[in-house]
Structure 1
């Protein structure tokens, strides 16, 4: 998981990437080539190294959607002015008013998962791991180290997010899981898709 963030920005840059979902904890490689996003990245690198991803079709839709805010973990600027970077998801966000100049940016509400645990969630997590081992590990060539790492994740929401971001490629499946704010319902969706073999 990303390092704990003690203070989130009130406003941050925003990339509009249709059907792209930045899960908390996930690493996303990006190539930045549009002038407006090059400026956004430059400003982020001068400050808190953070910007958000909205998986909507337009700037207008972003104000009614959820997205993910991430932190730039590595960035290389190319001779032509483009950049290659790695963005690590931090948390879900709800966007409010969108400003477009000089680049898209938005005020946001941070949507951190509650740190909760109970017998039902523990049982559901065990069922998910059983489904993951039987349906996905061999088929996707998941390394043993990743399976072991899942056991070290203490919060159920982070566990579900890491597993979903690793296993599922279908944009609609990823989006359905990402948009579910209730951790138990998110885990139930994860188990449902695993048992159905929806891995692409």
Structure 2
């Protein structure tokens, strides 16, 4: 897996501990791009530290049954699986914010949270090493079924996409990018993240999309970023 200028191929290329950024509704997958607008002091500190180190940040959702509750610095307040991302784009706005882009490297399982003096959270993690193999499951995805179901969903909600780019994308890029831009909720995003392999993720996305179509696309935003 390549992210920016760095190749990640083996477990030794990845850290055993990582700063974690809890973010509801966010989905980062290997090879995907996640733009972020950073303004809270603790996360500005996190990105300062990451930029001076390995440039890796762990994106993870709070546990769904903790939504709306006061944040606890405890591992049981977070979902069990997140995704490491490398900072591949960074700019300062002049008003105290950072505009950054993370490129997904691999998913990780959250083991236990570390006690530190930092304002942000860090944890011991176990990387999903299979994510480091590029296009290892090419040809296993129901590509046509995925495109047709997603196109039907977009048309039903008067949305559009760059279909020329979609058709040219590799299987892994197609599945992961459609999963990331899909306008579904935190539970669906977590299900897509935790799918065991690319084929399962594609099948999960098709099922979620068809369910949304059957329910007339309730609670769907009017645009896709």
TM-score range, shorter chain: 0.7 to 0.9
1:29-108 correspondence runs (5 A): 29-56=35-62, 57=66, 58=71, 59-60=73-74, 61=76, 65-99=80-114, 100-102=116-118, 103-108=120-125
Equivalent-residue separation in structure 2 for 1:64 and 1:87 (angstroms):
20
Equivalent-residue separation in structure 2 for 1:64 and 1:128 (angstroms):
27
Equivalent-residue separation in structure 2 for 1:53 and 1:62 (angstroms):
14
Whether 1:147 aligns to 2:166 is: yes
- Asked whether the 8 Å contact 1:73–1:87 carries over to 2, the reply is yes
Q: Which runs of 5+ in 2 are unaligned?
A: 221-225
126, 131, 134: which is aligned to 2:152?
134
1:121-200 correspondence runs (5 A): 121-122=140-141, 124-136=142-154, 139-150=158-169, 153-155=170-172, 158-197=173-212, 200=220
- Asked whether the 8 Å contact 1:64–1:96 carries over to 2, the reply is no
The 3 A distance-change label for structure 1 pair 197 and 43 is same
Matched length? 193
**Comparing 11-20 and 60-69, the one that deviates more:** 60-69
Equivalent-residue separation in structure 1 for 2:109 and 2:183 (angstroms):
23
Equivalent-residue separation in structure 1 for 2:36 and 2:193 (angstroms):
19
SS of 1:23 mapped into structure 2:
coil
For each residue in 1:18-56, what CA deviation from the matched residue of structure 2 results, as whole angstroms up to 9, or x when unmatched? 332222233222222222222211111112211111101
* Aligned twin of 2:137: 116
SS of 1:132 mapped into structure 2:
helix
SS of 1:140 mapped into structure 2:
coil
**Comparing 132-141 and 95-104, the one that deviates more:** 132-141
TM-score scaled by length of structure 1:
0.80
Measure how far apart 1:194 and its partner are: 2.4
10, 16, 34: which is aligned to 2:22?
16
- Asked whether the 8 Å contact 1:96–1:107 carries over to 2, the reply is yes
Q: Which has the higher helix share?
A: 1
* Aligned twin of 2:8: 5
The 3 A distance-change label for structure 1 pair 164 and 63 is closer
The Cα RMSD (Å) is 2.7
Measure how far apart 1:15 and its partner are: 1.0
